[in-house]
């Protein structure tokens, strides 16, 4: 097993990619904190893991709240003794708004969840990793964090920021035994469209040309395999970088 006795936190783990990551980590021997805003969904995932002989605990977290993040990491340590792997995966979409149509409240909410939540969880986990002399951070970014028109301006900016944060962190702590990488998924079949409220017709229309060259939609399990690679020692020399998993979509650009 690739993650025997490791303790992992996966945020946004009640659905989509986070759920697939939590399941594969547990199957590979990790004890997993299944963290999500949706507690019922998180508990359902834990039920599935424990029925298959794995170890997991559900924690309700709003990653936009500092106290929830602190609580999530404190619970991992109290319950399982330490923290080895932090997967910052929770995220929400915008409504494909171009900059001219951005509303401050929506910008703030998306950055609080997609970007500030990632920073805060990393900041809280770092003292644990520094004390151990090892730790592993995996952030779910997006191909929208590498390119200009995979969603609206806010989502794209929030994910570009996650990539910048990932690279800086990977370099800063490279000699402290801590690795930090991001995954840039392309289009994946999940429930993320539920967070797409008040879709902007102009923005949506402009991104259609880009979506027109998507070779195929991926499955959450295909992203979970990348997250497993990054969490395991097989990727020991991979640090401060982004792995794109998009079925060849962005090869078109
Ligand atoms: N689906 C795609 O095509 C795609 C592509 C690129 C990147 N991503 C990114 O992948 C990540 C996972 O998304 P998904 O596609 O699996 O979507 P999903 O909606 O299926 O799952 C996201 C989960 O995050 C949770 N969540 C939302 N806001 C939260 C908050 N404030 N605090 C805690 N949990 C919260 C939701 O309850 C949900 O369970 C996101 O960061 C998303 O931006 C998705």
Residue 37 covered by a domain: yes
Query: What per-residue confidence (pLDDT) applies to 195?
Result: 87
Residue 99 burial by Cβ neighbours in a 10 Å radius (0-12, 13-18, 19+): exposed
DSSP assigned state of 188: B
Q: How far is the CA of 109 from the centre of ligand 1 (A)?
A: 14
Beta strand ranges found along 115-197 (DSSP E): 135-140, 178-185
Q: Give the mean model confidence (pLDDT) for residues 26-38.
A: 98
Residue 40 covered by a domain: yes
pLDDT tens digit sequence for 54-82: 999 999 999 999 999 999 999 999 999 99
pLDDT tens digit sequence for 12-23: 999 999 999 999
Q: Give the mean model confidence (pLDDT) for residues 221-229.
A: 99
Beta strand ranges found along 89-157 (DSSP E): 135-140
25 in active site: no
pLDDT tens digit sequence for 99-150: 999 999 999 999 999 999 999 999 999 999 999 999 999 999 999 999 999 9
State if residue 18 touches ligand 1 by the CB under 6 angstroms criterion. yes
Question: For residue 33, what is the enclosing H or E element?
Answer: strand 31-36
Check which CATH number belongs to the domain holding 154 and give it.
3.40.50.720
Residue 204 covered by a domain: yes
The boundaries of the domain holding residue 245 are 7-252
Residue 75 covered by a domain: yes
Number of independent structural domains in the chain:
1
Q: How far is CA 216 from CA 15, 223, 247, 248, in A?
A: 20, 14, 7, 9
Residue 1 covered by a domain: no
SS3 18: helix
Residue 2 covered by a domain: no
Ligand 1 atom closest to Cα of residue 193: 19
Residue 117 covered by a domain: yes
């Amino acid at each position: 097993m690739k993650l025997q006795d490791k303790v992992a936190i996966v945020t946004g783990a009640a659905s989509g990619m986070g759920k697939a990551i939590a399941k594969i980590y547990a199957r590979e021997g990790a004890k997993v904190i299944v963290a999500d805003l949706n507690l019922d969904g998180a508990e359902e995932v834990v039920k599935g893991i424990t029925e298959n002989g794995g170890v997991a605990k559900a924690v309700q977290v709003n990653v936009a709240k500092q106290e929830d993040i602190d609580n999530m990491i404190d619970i991992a340590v109290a319950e399982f003794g330490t923290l080895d792997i932090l997967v910052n995966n929770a995220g929400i979409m915008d409504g494909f708004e171009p900059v001219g149509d951005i509303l401050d409240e929506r910008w703030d909410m998306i950055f609080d969840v997609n970007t500030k939540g990632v920073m805060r969880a990393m900041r809280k986990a770092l003292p644990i990793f520094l004390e151990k002399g090892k730790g592993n951070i995996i952030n779910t970014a997006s191909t929208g964090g590498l390119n200009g028109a995979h969603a609206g301006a806010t989502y794209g900016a929030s994910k570009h920021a996650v990539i910048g944060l990932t690279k800086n962190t990977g370099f800063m702590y490279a000699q402290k035994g801590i690795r930090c990488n991001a995954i840039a998924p392309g289009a994946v079949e999940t429930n993320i469209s539920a967070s797409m409220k008040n879709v902007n017709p102009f923005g949506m229309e402009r991104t259609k040309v880009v979506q027109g060259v998507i070779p195929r939609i991926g499955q959450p399990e295909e992203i979970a395999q990348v997250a497993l690679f990054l969490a395991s020692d097989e990727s020991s020399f991979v640090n401060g970088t982004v792995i794109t998993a998009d079925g060849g979509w962005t090869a078109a650009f």
